Amino acid sequence: MEYLILAIAIVVLAVVAAGFFLLRGRGRGRTAPPPETSAGGTAVLDDDEVATAAPPVDVPVAPAAPEIELPPPSAGRLVRLRARLSRSQNALGKSLLALLSRDALDDEAWEEIEDTLVTADVGVVPARQIVDDLRTKVKVLGSRDPVQVRAMLKEELLGQLGVDWDRTLRTEPHGNQPAVILVVGVNGTGKTTTCGKLARVIVGDGRTVLLGAADTFRAAAADQLQTWGSRVGAEVVRKAEGTDPASVAFEAVKQGIAGAVDTVIVDTAGRLHTKTGLMDELGKVKRVIEKQAQVDEVILVLDATTGQNGLRQARVFAEVVNVTGIALTKLDGTAKGGIVIAVQRELGVPVKLVGLGEGPDDLAPFDPDAFVEAILGD
């Protein structure tokens, strides 16, 4: 009996002990799990914590500095743009070659050749001279195979374009002064665009440029120039609309000297109502620049699509300022490439630059050989 009571007591004790340990174990399972971490080790906050966390702070982002572009150098530009030149001028070369290759080169054929040249804006006098020269050459040549005819025409066109002109654009600083380029021309010819493209050519050649927005007639012209300048890191000097253009030109050259810039390009207005006003203004701009530095180039911008009208404008500008070179724009938009011959003859100054499109790098130094090759095709 005593044994039975002892056994029951042991069983009761065992059950009580088991119950105690069981309850303890469950309580432990209810303790908060350790916080999870994201892959980066940052604690992931639960909803309550999110509600009490500090609100996100807007960190001010500095405006991105405009990216400075590095345009291609001047060398080889016309070769790169040759396709564009061929597209616009090839028809002229093709018809001249076809006419010159005819079996019978009678008076009628020569007249057609002359007409083709006049239609391409070569000008009446140069067209007649080209025909006379070609007639003599054909007589000397005797037989005419296509290769000979092409070589003969190339020689004649090169002679008319003038291979001996100095077409160097003086953009290099001298002494401790920058080169100064004054850009003149009627509004709409592509003057401001040419200033911007020229800045790219010079920067592409490894030099520094400052642009002077002396076309104070139109605020948009200065804005346009500013956009061109900022793309290549060129400083732009501008003043309020209506300011005396000469004061802008003066300031631009002054800053160019102070900043040891290589080249200062000054854009001018062309929209003046009287020729006298235009003369006075351009003359003053030039004189004021010359108080501090020499003007190395006066570039006249002409729109190739305006033909004889453009030549008339050219004459007016040439009377006002001593033009040292011509920038012929929009040559991609006309088949009348003969204007190069006409304008050089008219003004007695060389075409130094040609515009072949609206793209920022569609301005090239003029090279007669590449030009004639593009006209004649392969």
Ligand X SMILES: Nc1nc2c(ncn2[C@@H]2O[C@H](COP(=O)(O)OP(=O)(O)OP(=O)(O)O)[C@@H](O)[C@H]2O)c(=O)[nH]1
Q: Which residues bind to ligand X, rule: CB under 6 A?
A: 187-193, 215, 218, 221, 224, 329-330, 332-333, 355-358, 362
Ligand-binding annotation for 268, yes or no, is yes
Q: What's the closest the beta carbon of residue 118 comes to ligand X, in angstroms?
A: 24
Output the smallest distance, CB 303 to ligand X, in A. Answer: 8
Q: Would you say 359 is a known binding-site residue?
A: no
CB 266 within 8 A of CB 183: yes
Instruction: Give min distance, CB of 281 to ligand X, in A.
Output: 14
Tell me if 267 is assigned to a ligand binding site. Answer: yes
Cβ atoms < 10 Å from Cβ of 172 = 14
Specify the residue, 245 or 368, whose C-beta has the smaller distance to ligand X.
245
Q: 122: helix, coil or strand?
A: coil
- Tell me if 194 sits within 8 A of 353, measured CB to CB: yes
Q: Which is nearer to ligand X, 192 or 208 (CB)?
A: 192
Is 198 annotated to bind ligand? no
329 is in an annotated binding site: yes
Q: Do 266 and 281 form a contact (C-beta atoms < 8 A)?
A: no
58 is in an annotated binding site: no
Helix, strand or coil for residue 185?
coil
CA 66, distance to chain mean position in Å, is: 16
Is 270 annotated to bind a ligand? Reply is yes
Cβ distance to ligand X smaller for residue 99 or 323: 323
In angstroms, rounded to a whole number, what is the distance separating the alpha carbons of residues 42 and 189?
Answer: 63
User: What's the rounded Cα separation, in Å, for the pair 348 and 342?
Assistant: 10
Looking at the Cβ atoms of 293 and 320, the one nearer to ligand X is 320
Q: In whole angstroms, how large is the CA radius of gyration of the chain?
A: 39
Please identify the residue of the shown chain whose CB is closest to the bound ligand X: 355
CB of 207 to ligand X, least distance (A): 22
332 labeled binding residue: yes
Residue number, 94 or 271, with CB nearest to ligand X: 271
If the CB atoms of residues 116 and 313 are measured against ligand X, the closer one turns out to be 313
CA 177 from chain centre, in angstroms, equals 25
- Say how far apart CA 96 and CA 146 lie, in whole Å: 12
* Parallel/antiparallel/unpaired status of strands 351-355 and 363-365: antiparallel
107 labeled binding residue: no
CA torsion 258→261→263→264, rounded to 10°?
Answer: -40
| Residue 153 C-beta: closest distance to ligand X, Å | 26
Q: How is the beta sheet containing 351-355 ordered, strand by strand?
A: 235-237, 209-214, 263-268, 179-184, 297-303, 325-329, 351-355, 363-365
Residue closer to ligand X by CB (options 89, 224) is 224
Q: How far is the CB of 247 from ligand X (least distance, A)?
A: 18
Q: How far is the CB of 140 from ligand X (least distance, A)?
A: 39
DSSP state of 173: -
Binding residue positions for GTP: 185-192, 267-271, 329-332
Binding residue positions: 185-192, 267-271, 329-332
